[in-house]
Each structure stands twice: as structure tokens, then as C-alpha cells.
Amino acid sequence: AQSVAQPEDQVNVAEGNPLTVKCTYSVSGNPYLFWYVQYPNRGLQFLLKYITGDNLVKGSYGFEAEFNKSQTSFHLKKPSALVSDSALYFCAVRDHLGGFKTIFGAGTRLFVKA
């Protein structure tokens, strides 16, 4: 069965500093990995995904994520955080053999302080 772990309930960073939001996954086959962001009382917005190829993927709003197969991780990163990045971030996984079902992690709340 697929699963996703986001070990940090909340991440606090100062504006201008780099940020990392951690994610590890478990699937039986090759993973398709996604990051989404949610602002208060809104639906989720797609940030980026890893399907195959280059382990470093770039997405919206300056975010990027690195796929690490040996560590089964897909951490979200940004070189310089903005206050407007404060939101709830979800990592998600889909097994390429498991149809279209997408499983989400518990979410990590990012708080960027000015």
C-alpha cells in the first residue's frame, strides 16, 4: 500500500532564508510524487511533480524538490522564503501501477516570519 510521511507538523523560517519541507514515501512500484499547497479555507494548488528523469524538479513560485530513491524522499525546497509562502503543504504519492489514486501526507504548516 502507498503511504506518505511528513515528519514535521510545522516549519518556521525567517523571510529570506532557505526552507525545506520534508517528505518520505512508500510505494510498491515506481512512485509518482507531487507537492501541493493549500491556503486557508481553499482547495489545494499543484506546485510540482516528479515522474521520471532529472531528480531535481522545479515548480511554481520558485519551489523545487529533489527525488532521492535510496532514501525514498521528496523534500520540498526554496532558496529564499517569502512571508507569502506561509501555508499548508502536502506531499502526495501515486503508484504507477495503482491506477490514479493519490495518497496525501498529513501536511506541514509553513510559517515564514518577516
Partner 1 sequence: GAVVSQHPSRVICKSGTSVKIECRSLDFQATTMFWYRQFPKKSLMLMATSNEGSKATYEQGVEKDKFLINHASLTLSTLTVTSAHPEDSSFYICSARFGTRNTGELFFGEGSRLTVL
The site for partner 1 (CB under 8 A) is made up of 32, 34, 36, 41-46, 49, 51, 88, 90, 94, 96, 99-104, 106-107, 109
Which is nearer to partner 1, 75 or 109 (by Cβ)? 109
Which residue, 15 or 26, is less far from partner 1 as judged by CB?
A: 26
The total number of residues written for the chain in this structure: 114
Whole-number Å distance between alpha carbons of 98 and 36? 20
**Smallest separation (angstroms) from partner 1 to the CB of 100:** 5
Cα–Cα distance for residue pair 12/9, rounded to 1 Å:
10
User: Smallest distance from the beta carbon of 84 to partner 1, in angstroms?
Assistant: 19
Contact of 102 with 55, CB cutoff 8 Å: no
